[in-house]
Chains A and B, each alone.
Chain A
Amino acid sequence: QVQLQESGPGLVKPSQTLSLTCTVSGDSISSGSFYWSWIRQTAGRGLEWIGRIYTSGSIKSNPSLMSRVTISLDTSMNQFSLQLASVTAADTAFYYCARGTPHYGSYYYESWGQGTLVTVSP
């Protein structure tokens, strides 16, 4: 069974870049056809989809964040990563990585990491 684990700094200064990595175990990130995704959650905004990278490498991001988001795959490490530039306090949230399973042109998230809290503060 696939497992995902987020890692990265828990504290980021305003205007800096938030960087998180999701390590995948139990399956190869380059096998099959999945949407490797980042989702965040705050008490105020609920669940917010950040973006995803397909196994082929194609990327789609939330239009509201697109200019600041970079998502990449590292097949040699079986990881994928998120970079969010120019962060503000509004980017403070729990960040989840998840694997999206394609289904009839859409996809659903069957596997999630446990989540990691990132706080943006001086």
Chain B
Amino acid sequence: VLTQSPGTLSLPPGATVTLSCRASQSVYSSDLVWYQQKPGQAPRLLIYSASNRAAGIPDRFSGSGSGTDFTLTISRLEPGDCAIYYCQQDAGSSIVFGGGTKVEI
């Protein structure tokens, strides 16, 4: 199980936000992925292997963590960052997604 917190965040433009993804059991860092989903769109890959940015993702987005605790940090928030952010783990028998954190600007 992946638990994301907080459920919703509301911050001004320019702020830095840290989103949490906590696993019920230790996770290989290589298995931890972050996505961004805007209204009406499919999820978009942001980070894979806990800290590797996907192609075309600005360096304002960064991921870190190990074991059971992982974070996604978004610096210099922009209005276009309004979205729900999901973490994902390969649990072996299944791919598992967290419940998401909604970021409001």
Chain A residues with CB under 8 Å of chain B are 37, 39, 46-49, 52, 60, 62-63, 96, 98, 103-110, 112-115
Which of A39, A98, A107, A110 contacts B90, CB < 8 Å? Answer: A107
Let me know if B48 and A108 touch, CB within 8 A: yes
Chain A binding surface SS class? strand
Which of A52, A105, A108 contacts B45, CB < 8 Å? Answer: A108
Number of interface residues of B (CB under 8 A): 25
Let me know if A103 and B30 touch, CB within 8 A: yes
Let me know if B96 and A49 touch, CB within 8 A: yes
Q: What residues on A are CB-neighbors of B88 within 8 Å?
A: 47, 108-109
Min CB distance, A66 to chain B, in Å? 9
Q: What residues on B are CB-neighbors of A106 within 8 Å?
A: 28, 30-31, 90
Nearest residue, chain A, Cβ from B45: A110
Let me know if A49 and B93 touch, CB within 8 A: no
Q: What residues on A are CB-neighbors of B43 within 8 Å?
A: 47, 96, 109, 112
Flag B89-103 by CB within 8 Å of A: 1 or 0 each: 010011111111000
Let me know if A46 and B30 touch, CB within 8 A: no
Which of B42, B94, B100 contacts A49, CB < 8 Å? Answer: B94
Q: What residues on B are CB-neighbors of A108 within 8 Å?
A: 33, 45, 48, 54, 88
Nearest residue, chain B, Cβ from A48: B97
